[in-house]
Amino acid sequence: GAVVSQHPSRVICKSGTSVKIECRSLDFQATTMFWYRQFPKQSLMLMATSNEGSKATYEQGVEKDKFLINHASLTLSTLTVTSAHPEDSSFYICSARDPQGAFEAFFGQGTRLTVV
């Protein structure tokens, strides 16, 4: 089946620095990818929809200048957390749809971000 790869799986960074998370669709091309965030003991909430070749669409309450999304190719979307603060510590996960067949959504394994 289709595979979505996310890297890194865990990252620790200092306050004020930026962190980039990559999401790749390994065996299909994805014009649309989704980024989710999960705070401790909560469900996953959609942050933004990443569109290849155009600007991302952000959900209400998500700061687009803080969470930069780039979808430069049909197999890669990146999420950059800029000027990270401890409250940005969370679990981030991406998803991509395989346009072939049933157009199902597949999820990466997630990135655990800890800002110290």
- Positions in the binding site for another protein (CB under 8 A): 9, 31-32, 34, 36, 42-46, 49, 91, 93, 95, 97, 102-105, 107, 109-110, 112
Alpha-helix runs per DSSP H in the chain: none
Q: Which is nearer to another protein, 78 or 98 (CB)?
A: 98
Q: Are 85 and 15 in contact (CB under 8 A)?
A: yes
Minimum CB–partner distance for residue 14 and another protein (Å): 21
Q: How far is the CB of 47 from another protein (least distance, A)?
A: 10
Residue among 77, 107, 75, 104 at smallest CA distance from 91: 107
* C-alpha–C-alpha distance, residues 108 and 25, integer Å: 9
CB closer to another protein, 34 vs 76: 34
